[in-house]
């Protein structure tokens, strides 16, 4: 198969970027999308040119590092699929495919197709954890969790933190990500001691990073490679309201960070 | 109190205020549509309903309350929309089409136009800006003749069609709101998706069809016959502006 990849090239965070066309031939239908970029990079390096910078980790659809906006869709046209699990049979022969990095002021471009997702890490650092003594693994069924609850927690916990929800949202809102991270712990017994603190701190952290507000466009769940349901956002709203009204005091009024260019 | 202010200052808190003020506005629109539909019972029914509203001791309380709610809803809506825009200042190259972008911005666009419509509508039919003698007509019981007021106003095609356009925008605004407010209030669940979808269509169709039908009926002359003895300015004199 033959393709033209129109790829966003940006030498550094501060440089201005542009789309550059790379024709490529001899691609198999069962080659993965990242393998096509690898092929282009090999050609570029053979010509002593700078290869395309992109995140290329696990290639098993579980690490969340591949993060490409392909023809305006996060992780490409196939639903519930990460870019690394996307195969060229999803495209038509001879197609021009536009490849861009995630776009959100909170996730600035570092180089070419790589964005800085530290904002998401800072949200996790604010309270996306449980404080427990580590050590030996506890006995199975020591703490009972109903099947239904475990399934819903697992559904939320399947978030790989890739940021597709943010990239797909017209408002660049991180609500689906934050909701998944809050809900996975709110549903389980281990998450209860820090439940109020967690939801308030994580929402405040999200606001500080300058993500947009959720206005219920539902693009996030469409784009999510792990099919995290929209209902986790409502669950987050519920958790937040409950904690805000009945939980601990707020740490501080949320101050939104306006990112300067 | 400080705690409540902090809660409302967060992104989710502000959306909650937009949602709660939206519930009041939604109930108001449904009530307004129900009241206006008394026009189909006849002039005396509509005029009695209007008289009941006008002599109510709650009238000014409701009016001022609605003014405050509209202001809050509009202010926070604009603020949230501006924040959303500044959250992605570099757009995608393979971005959405103009129609998709308009669709994404439909709440802000329809909201702003609806606000302008509300101001014009209050000036037009409540305050009587540019009104003629028909506006101040009273019926045989001494009630303000709202029926004659409406029939006269909607004889003018531009006025009738602007109202119909505004109501279609209200429909677009409400279609998104009904489901969204359940989500913001935290009620949303995948099992209820079709329930909320159905409910939002029900409300939208009732409000849009109900409110559009009045200017349409007057335009097509289905209600004119009932205005006995009324000299309609649009037919005999200078047009009602």
CATH number at residue B117: 1.20.1300.10
State mean pLDDT over B27-33: 97
| Across A66-80, A132-146, B40-54, B100-114, least confident range | A132-146
pLDDT at B226: 53
Q: Does the beta-carbon distance from B93 to A98 stay under 8 Å?
A: yes
Residue A25 to residue B37: CA distance in whole angstroms: 67
| Domain assignment of residue B90, yes or no | no
Residues of chain A with pLDDT under 50: 252-261
| Domain assignment of residue B118, yes or no | yes
Residue to test with chain B: of A101, A171, A210, most B Cβ within 10 A: A171
pLDDT band at B231 (very low <50, low <70, confident <90, very high): very low
| Domain assignment of residue B91, yes or no | no
Tell me the shortest Cα–Cα distance from A27 to chain B, in angstroms: 23
State mean pLDDT over B141-151: 89
Cα atoms in the Cβ-side hemisphere of radius 13 Å centred on B185 = 14
In sequence order, what DSSP letters do the residues of A94-155 get, joined into one string? T-EEEEE----TTS-EEETTEE--HHHHHHHHHH-S-----SSPPPTTSS---HHHHHHHHH
| Domain assignment of residue B99, yes or no | no
Query: What share of chain B in percent tops pLDDT 90?
Result: 64
Structure tokens at B167: 């109501």
Tell me the shortest Cα–Cα distance from A31 to chain B, in angstroms: 23
Query: Over 70: is that where the pLDDT of B41 sits?
Result: yes
pLDDT at A45: 98
| Domain assignment of residue B97, yes or no | no
What is the radius of gyration, based on Cα positions, of chain B? 21
- Containing domain of residue B222, as a range? 2-84+104-236
* Long-range contacts, A43-48 (Cβ 8 Å, 24+): none
Higher pLDDT, B223 or B236: B223
B194 touching chain A per CB within 8 A: no
pLDDT at A108: 97
Give the chain B residue nearest A202 (alpha carbons): B10
Higher pLDDT, A144 or B5: A144
Contacts B103 to A, Cβ<8 Å: none
Higher pLDDT, A54 or B220: A54
Contacts A224 to B, Cβ<8 Å: none
CA dihedral A231, A232, A233, A238 (to 10 degrees): 100
| Domain assignment of residue B229, yes or no | yes
Residue to test with chain B: of A244, A256, A258, most B Cβ within 10 A: A244
| Domain assignment of residue B117, yes or no | yes
ipTM for the whole predicted complex goes beyond 0.90: no
Residue to test with chain A: of B4, B76, B186, most A Cβ within 10 A: B186
Q: Does the beta-carbon distance from B87 to A106 stay under 8 Å?
A: yes
Structure tokens at A227: 């099919």
Nearest by Cα to B63 from B36, B28, B111, B112? B28
User: CB-CB: which of B10, B87, B104 is closest to A104?
Assistant: B87
Residue to test with chain A: of B93, B98, B187, most A Cβ within 10 A: B93
| Domain assignment of residue B153, yes or no | yes
Q: Does the beta-carbon distance from A215 to B94 stay under 8 Å?
A: no
Tens digit of each residue's pLDDT (9 = 90 or more) over B160-201: 999 999 999 999 999 999 889 888 998 877 778 888 999 999
Tell me the shortest Cα–Cα distance from A171 to chain B, in angstroms: 5
B99 touching chain A per CB within 8 A: no
Tell me the shortest Cα–Cα distance from B190 to chain A, in angstroms: 6
In sequence order, what DSSP letters do the residues of A214-239 get, joined into one string? --S--HHHHH-TT---THHHHHHHHH
How many structural domains compose chain B?
A: 1
Q: Does the beta-carbon distance from A103 to B6 stay under 8 Å?
A: no
Contacts A249 to B, Cβ<8 Å: 3, 6
User: CB-CB: which of B10, B92, B104 is closest to A207?
Assistant: B10
- Helix (H/G/I), strand (E/B), else coil: B130: coil
| Across B12-26, B88-102, B123-137, least confident range | B123-137
pLDDT at A84: 95
Q: Which domains does chain A have, with CATH numbers?
A: 3-100 (3.10.20.30), 118-246 (1.10.1060.10)
């Amino acid at each position: 198969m033959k393709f033209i990849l129109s790829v966003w090239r940006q030498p550094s965070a501060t440089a201005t970027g542009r789309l550059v066309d790379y024709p490529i031939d001899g691609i198999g239908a069962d080659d993965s999308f990242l393998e096509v970029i690898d092929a282009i990079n090999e050609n570029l390096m053979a010509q002593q040119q700078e290869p395309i910078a992109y995140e290329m980790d696990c290639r098993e659809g579980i690490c969340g590092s591949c993060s490409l906006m392909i023809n305006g869709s996060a992780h490409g046209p196939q639903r519930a699929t990460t870019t690394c699990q996307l195969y060229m049979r999803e495209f038509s022969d001879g197609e021009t495919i536009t490849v861009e990095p995630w776009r959100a002021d909170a996730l600035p471009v570092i180089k070419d197709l790589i964005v800085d997702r530290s904002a998401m890490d800072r949200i996790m650092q604010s309270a996306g954890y449980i404080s427990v003594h580590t050590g030996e693994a506890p006995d199975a069924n020591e703490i009972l969790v109903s099947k239904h609850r475990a399934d819903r927690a697992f559904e939320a916990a399947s978030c790989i933190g890739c940021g597709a929800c943010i990239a797909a949202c017209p408002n660049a809102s991180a609500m689906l990500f934050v909701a998944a991270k809050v809900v996975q712990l709110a549903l389980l017994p281990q998450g209860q001691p820090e439940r109020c603190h967690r939801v308030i701190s994580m929402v405040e952290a999200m606001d500080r990073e300058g993500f947009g507000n959720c206005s219920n466009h539902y693009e996030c769940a469409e784009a999510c490679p792990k099919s995290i349901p929209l209902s986790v956002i409502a669950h987050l709203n519920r958790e937040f309201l409950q904690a805000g009204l009945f939980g601990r005091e707020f740490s501080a009024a949320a101050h939104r960070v306006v990112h300067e260019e | 109190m400080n705690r409540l202010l902090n809660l409302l200052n967060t992104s989710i808190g502000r959306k909650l205020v937009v949602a709660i003020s939206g519930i009041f506005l939604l109930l108001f629109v449904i009530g307004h549509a129900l009241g206006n539909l008394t026009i189909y019972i006849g002039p005396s029914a509509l005029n009695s309903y209007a008289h009941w509203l006008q002599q109510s001791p709650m009238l000014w309380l409701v009016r001022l309350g609605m003014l405050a709610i509209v202001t809050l809803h509009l202010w926070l809506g604009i603020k949230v929309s501006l924040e959303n825009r500044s959250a992605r200042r570099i757009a995608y190259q393979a971005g959405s089409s103009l129609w998709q972008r308009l669709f994404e911005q439909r709440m802000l666009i329809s909201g702003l136009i609806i606000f302008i419509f509300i101001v014009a509508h209050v000036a037009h039919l409540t305050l009587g800006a540019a009104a003629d003698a028909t506006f101040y007509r009273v019926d045989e019981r001494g009630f303000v003749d709202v029926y004659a007021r409406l029939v006269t106003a909607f004889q003018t095609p531009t006025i009738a069609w602007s109202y119909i356009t505004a109501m279609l925008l209200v429909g677009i605004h409400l279609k998104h709101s009904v489901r969204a407010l359940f989500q913001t209030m935290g009620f949303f669940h995948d099992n209820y998706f079709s329930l909320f979808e159905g409910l939002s269509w029900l409300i939208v169709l009732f409000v849009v069809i109900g409110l559009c039908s009045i200017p349409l009926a007057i335009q097509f002359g289905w209600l004119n016959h009932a205005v006995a003895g009324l000299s309609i300015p649009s037919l005999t004199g200078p047009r009602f502006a």
